[in-house]
Structures are given as C-alpha cells and as structure tokens.
Amino acid sequence: MSTIEIGGSPLTVTHNCKQYTVKRCALNDNQWRLTSVDKPREQITLNRWQMHIAGFGHLTEMKA
C-alpha cells in the first residue's frame, strides 16, 4: 500500500512501511528516482511503466 504526503519539495511516499522521496530525473521525464529516507544511499530508478506496476501511477500524471 502507498500513501502520499505533499508537504513540499520533494514528494515523500510510503511503500511497504518504508518512506521514500520521489524526484523526477532531470535528463529523462519518464524516469523517477526513489530514495530511502532513512538510508539515503538506497536508491532505485523507475520508469513510467514500473511506477504504474508499483502503485505510483498517480504520481506519473502529476505536473512537475
């Protein structure tokens, strides 16, 4: 399950009881980088299709 907290920039989401910050990649508008809040070195880059599969499809439709 995922929830969204819109408190400012960047966006913070919770997925599988872990918090991530989500930023759109600068060079490619179809990719997003999720960074763990408690472990900043833990990062994953997802494309639009992978975001939909993970349950974050609503984030891909947001304007940056």
Judge whether 51 and 59 are in contact, CB under 8 Å: yes
- List, for residues 7-60, the tens digit of each pLDDT value: 446 688 887 888 998 888 878 778 889 999 999 999 999 888 998 888 888 777
In sequence order, which ranges of the chain are alpha helices (DSSP H)? Answer: 48-54, 57-60
pTM listed for this prediction:
0.71
